Amino acid sequence: MKKKSTIQKIKDSRITKVMLARKSVIVALIILLIMILAAVFAPLVSPYDPYKQDLKNMLLGSTAGHIFGTDSMGRDVLSRIIYGGRVSFVVGAVSVLIAGGIGMILGLISGMAGGFVDAVIMRVMDAMMSVPMIIMALFLGSIFGKGLGNICLAIGISMIPNYARVTRGSVLTVKQMDYITAGTLCGASTVKNAIDHIFPNCISANLVLMTMNIGNAILNEAALSFLGMGINPPTASWGSMVNDGYTYMSRDPIIAIVPGLFIMITVLCCNIIGDALRDAMDPKLRGTLGKKKKKAKAGKSEG
């Protein structure tokens, strides 16, 4: 009997089947893949140098040579959007990894330790959550300063409480399970139980949260750049492009509207994928995909 390849196992998995059963998810995945590939291969895809100024051709509007026109310095808007995607996707991925890594560790320690340690960690997380995420990111950004790394760190820290609380809740549920008690009776230490059994069962919930928070991180970066606290100019960023373009809304609105649309589409695609991943990984929904298909077939046969 032939062993299935890794790709075949992914195709046959329930999570993949549930996610790809929705046309909206397939469309979102395709759009995100195109955007990511365009950002990765920006030097090959970009029609112009995004940083080259041409003051003779500033604020051209949509033309055959410049689909989305040029900005106030004569730079091609499409080229800057392609390069700006690099910043947005890097911020989204890195800040979520920072938040997820630190938040899951804090949640695991809080849930396993309990008592005073649990109370201190959760009260700190509650205090952080009482401040809106964008305000927290603005405060941290003003401390760390501008720059890609600092923005990733600021946004990542502002999202830590979500992961800490989700992980703590999962830990408190999982550590009451019979197999954890059996492991303890067999001589497994608290640390071994936490690392080998409890923590792996907390990853799925956090994975869904990470997928959905990528869109939030991109949105926060755009907001920080719009407020002048984001990426250092002249580095292309969707948020800074909206900030630069909104002053010319009456004359040439496309240079502010187009990067805003790219932000909206990216966040929407991330949320659609995160929503589908949550449904696919939820044990309560296990088997519902097959039931829906059977009902659909039964309805067709009756008709």
118-128 pLDDT, tens digit each = 889 889 888 88
Q: What is the CA radius of gyration of the chain?
A: 23
Q: What is the pTM of this model?
A: 0.75
For residue 214, the model assigns a pLDDT of 82
Amino acid, res. 294: K
Segment 169-173 shows an average pLDDT of: 83
Residue 219 pLDDT grade (very low, low, confident, very high; cuts 50, 70, 90): confident
293 burial (CB, 10 Å; 0-12 / 13-18 / 19+) is: exposed
Comparing C-alpha atoms, which of 167, 161, 152 is closest to residue 206? Answer: 167
**Token pair of 84, please?**
């700006």
Residues 6+ apart with CB under 8 A from 4: 12
185-217 pLDDT, tens digit each = 676 666 777 777 777 777 777 887 888 788 788
231 burial (CB, 10 Å; 0-12 / 13-18 / 19+) is: buried
For residue 49, the model assigns a pLDDT of 83
**pLDDT cut 90: percent of the chain above it:** 3
For residue 288, the model assigns a pLDDT of 47
For 52-66, letters b (16+ CB in 10 Å) and e give eeeeebbbbeeeeeb
Cβ contact 92:237 at 8 Å: no
Check whether 137 has a pLDDT greater than 70. yes
For residue 37, the model assigns a pLDDT of 92
Lowest pLDDT segment from 73-87, 163-177, 188-202, 283-297: 283-297
Q: List C-alpha distances in Å: 213 to 28, 36, 252.
A: 16, 17, 32
Greatest CA separation for the chain:
78
Check whether 58 has a pLDDT greater than 70. yes
Cβ contact 106:125 at 8 Å: yes
List the domains of the chain with CATH numbers.
13-288 (1.10.3720.10)
Q: What is the mean pLDDT of the chain?
A: 78
| Tokens 């955007």 sit on residue | 35
For residue 20, the model assigns a pLDDT of 72
Residue 284 pLDDT grade (very low, low, confident, very high; cuts 50, 70, 90): low
Cβ contact 212:196 at 8 Å: no
